[in-house]
């Protein structure tokens, strides 16, 4: 099998969970495409791992998603694995949230996820694995994050529906829902403030039976499992990877 028949797309694959997943999948021998919006971010990802093929794209923009599909098709590749990872989180205090903030979250985390899978589906081989990156907030009412929480509940629902919709092609669709993970997203949510980040990590360590915040590699290892034949009978699940935080 040529590596073009064994390709992977990781959306938002230039930092955090997406980059760690892309590197882990490249380690397994896949040809890996990654997307991201920022050109310097894409360059840095390819510098960090020259096996990655970078495509500049905005997953909340339908024309941009179509351009990703066109580029992968032009390279002659088909996808064995699709990791729909690009996502955002912003504070949305009830009573203080404007429509633009609401729309940014839903445009990427819900609309972007739907149209990424719809647009890329023709490039997926029969028996492919689709992995949606959700969050434990799909089942938790984390304070001041209700819009993000709801967006991830939608992701969990998409996986269940698409496992059914794509059954004819034996395509598995699962949600991988991380707990808190040390990434640039969490740093941004804490306003880039070191003391606030320390306090958040201390809370995550205390709240989780594993006693620590997650690392991107903790998530990437489970992405490679869901991508693999070892997970051939795992379909439609929401798999929590949170050290037990949301389970107790």
Ligand X SMILES: NC(=O)c1ccc[n+]([C@@H]2O[C@H](COP(=O)([O-])OP(=O)(O)OC[C@H]3O[C@@H](n4cnc5c(N)ncnc54)[C@H](OP(=O)(O)O)[C@@H]3O)[C@@H](O)[C@H]2O)c1
Size of the site for ligand X (CB under 6 A): 31
- Selected from 8, 11, 25, 69, the binder of ligand X by CB under 6 A is 11
- Selected from 88, 92, 174, 208, the binder of ligand X by CB under 6 A is 88
Binding mask 15-34 for ligand X (x = CB under 6 A): xxxx----------------
d(CA 13, CA 19): 4
d(CA 144, CA 93): 4
* End-to-end Cα distance, the chain: 44
How many residues are recorded in the chain?
248
- Selected from 7, 30, 31, 41, the binder of ligand X by CB under 6 A is 41
d(CA 48, CA 18): 13
DSSP class of 4: G
Segment 155-214, which members bind ligand X (CB under 6 A)? 178, 180-181, 183-186
Q: Smaller CB distance to ligand X: residue 125 or 154?
A: 154
Cβ atoms within 10 A of the Cβ of 161, count? 11
Q: Does 238 bind ligand X (CB under 6 A)?
A: no
d(CA 27, CA 192): 32
- Selected from 86, 131, 171, 222, the binder of ligand X by CB under 6 A is 86
Interface ranges with ligand X (CB under 6 A): 11-12, 14-18, 35-38, 41, 57-60, 85-89, 108, 133, 135, 178, 180-181, 183-186
């Amino acid at each position: 099998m040529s590596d073009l028949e064994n390709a992977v797309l990781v959306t938002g694959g230039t930092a955090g969970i997406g980059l760690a997943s892309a590197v882990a999948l490249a380690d397994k021998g896949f040809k890996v495409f990654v997307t991201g919006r920022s050109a310097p971010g894409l360059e840095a990802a390819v510098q960090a791992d020259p096996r990655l093929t970078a495509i500049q794209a905005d997953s909340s923009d339908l024309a941009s998603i179509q351009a990703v599909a066109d580029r992968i098709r032009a390279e002659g590749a088909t996808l064995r694995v699709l990791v729909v990872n690009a996502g955002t989180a912003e504070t949305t205090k009830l009573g203080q949230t404007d429509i633009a903030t609401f729309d940014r979250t839903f445009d990427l985390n819900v609309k972007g996820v739907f149209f990424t899978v719809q647009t890329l589906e023709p490039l997926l081989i029969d028996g492919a694995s689709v992995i949606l990156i959700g969050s434990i907030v799909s089942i938790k009412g984390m304070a001041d994050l209700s819009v993000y929480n709801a967006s991830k509940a939608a992701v969990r629902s998409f996986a269940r529906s698409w496992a059914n919709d794509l059954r004819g092609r034996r395509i598995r669709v699962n949600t991988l829902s991380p707990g808190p993970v040390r990434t640039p997203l969490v740093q941004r949510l804490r306003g880039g403030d070191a003391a606030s980040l320390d306090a958040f990590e201390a809370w995550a360590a205390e709240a989780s039976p594993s006693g620590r915040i997650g690392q991107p590699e903790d998530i990437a290892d489970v992405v490679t499992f869901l991508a693999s034949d070892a997970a051939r009978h795992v379909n439609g699940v929401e798999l929590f990877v949170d050290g037990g935080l949301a389970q107790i």
